[in-house]
Amino acid sequence: MLVLVAKVLVRPLTDCIAPPLTSKVLKYCLEGVVPRKVLNGLSNTSISMLFDGSRPLYSTTQSENPIRLRAGKTYTGRVSVIDSTPEFLERVSSSGLASFLCTSTYGRFAVEFVEFSVVTLESLDIDLPVNFKISFLTPTVLSSKLMSPPPLARKVSSMHKLIPQPSLIFSHLLKMWNTFAEPEHKIGKQSEWAPYILGRQVDLVLAELDYRIKPETVIVGKDEKERLRKARGFTGWVIYKSIAKPKFHKTIAKLLALAELTGVGRSRGIGLGHIAITGLTTKSPKTEQTSPENSLSSRR
Q: Residue 39 in 3-state DSSP?
A: helix
Least confident of 194-208, 246-260, 283-297: 283-297
- Separation CA 273–CA 271 (nearest Å): 7
What are 115-141's pLDDT values in tens digits?
Answer: 888 899 999 999 999 999 999 999 999
Least confident of 47-51, 56-60, 62-66: 62-66
Q: What are phi and psi of 155, to 5 degrees?
A: -100, -15
Q: Domain segments of the chain: what residues?
A: 2-120, 125-299
Residues near 289 by Cβ (< 8 Å), separated by ≥ 6? 54
Q: Does 40 have pLDDT greater than 80?
A: no
Architecture of domain 125-299: 2-Layer Sandwich (3.30)
Kind plus residue range of the DSSP H or E element containing 3: strand 2-12
> Is 204 within 8 Å of 177 (Cβ atoms)?
no
Q: What are phi and psi of 120, to 5 degrees?
A: -80, 150
Angle, alpha carbons 269-272-273 (nearest 5°): 110
What are 144-186's pLDDT values in tens digits?
Answer: 888 888 887 777 778 889 999 999 999 999 999 999 999 999 9
Q: Are strands 16-17 and 68-69 parallel, antiparallel or unpaired?
A: antiparallel
- Separation CA 205–CA 132 (nearest Å): 13
Share of the chain above pLDDT 70, in %: 87
- Listing DSSP states for 43-77 in one string gives SEEEEPPPEETTEE-B-BTT-SS--EEPTT--EEE
Q: Of 2.40.160.20, 3.30.200.20, 3.40.50.150, 2.40.30.310, which CATH number belongs to 2-120?
A: 2.40.30.310
Q: Does 9 have pLDDT greater than 70?
A: yes
The separation between the first and the last C-alpha atoms of the chain, rounded to the nearest angstrom, is 20
Confidence band, pLDDT 50/70/90 cuts, at residue 245: very high
Half-sphere exposure of 177 (CA within 13 A, CB side): 31
What pTM does this model have?
Answer: 0.87
Which residue, among 275, 274, 278, has the nearest Cα to 289 in the 3D structure? 278
> Is 180 within 8 Å of 43 (Cβ atoms)?
yes
Sign of CA dihedral 70, 74, 80, 85: positive
Mean pLDDT of the chain: 87
Which residue, among 45, 123, 47, 130, has the nearest Cα to 300 in the 3D structure? 123
pLDDT at 150: 80
Q: How many CB atoms lie within 10 A of CB 215?
A: 14
Q: How long is the chain?
A: 300
- Separation CA 11–CA 180 (nearest Å): 34
- Separation CA 31–CA 39 (nearest Å): 7
Q: Give the distance from CA 166 to its chain's centroid.
A: 16
